[in-house]
A = this chain, B = another copy of it.
Amino acid sequence: MDEPMPGAPTAAAEVAQAHQAAREVFDVVGTKWALSVIEALGADTRRYGELHRQVTGISHRLLTATLRQLEQHGVVERTLHPTVPPRTEYRLTPAGQELQHTINGFCRWSRRHLDEILAARRRSEQA
């Protein structure tokens, strides 16, 4: 099906790469808490404890893991102030802010269609 490596990127190869890129992102935002954390970060900087209080229900470990993963993908920037007690601040990178903007699309969609969603779910739960 695929051609034997022409050396130059084919259109199909670009599509495949785009898909792979999307999958990369899907794996990141597809984490249980990633979307909530990005949304919670807002426009300004947040401290670790603030986020922990804001994202209701997230565990200590998972907040750390999620933040690290987002940091590793260039979505979140971490700044450690070497004071005592320590003070760590998280903020979205410019790329992360764009991503947040996209995520807000989800929020708007969910508000627009919440009733449909709940109706569809209740219908299926009766079976």
- Chain A residues engaging chain B, CB cutoff 8 angstroms: 18, 21-27, 29-32, 34-36, 39, 71-74, 95, 98-99, 102, 105-107, 109-114, 116-117, 119-121, 124
Contacts and interface: CB of A to CB of B under 8 A. Distances in A.
Contact of A110 (B22, B34, B107): B22
Given A29-B106, A34-B30, A102-B105, A120 B73 contact: yes
Contacts of A26: 32, 35-36, 106
A109 B59 CA distance: 29
A121 B73 contact: yes
Q: How many copies does the complex hold?
A: 2
Prevailing SS type, chain A contact patch: helix
10 contacts: A18-B111, A22-B39, A26-B35, A29-B106, A30-B31, A73-B120, A74-B119, A74-B120, A95-B113, A98-B113
A49 to B, nearest CB: 16
A67 to B, nearest CB: 12
Contacts of A119: 74
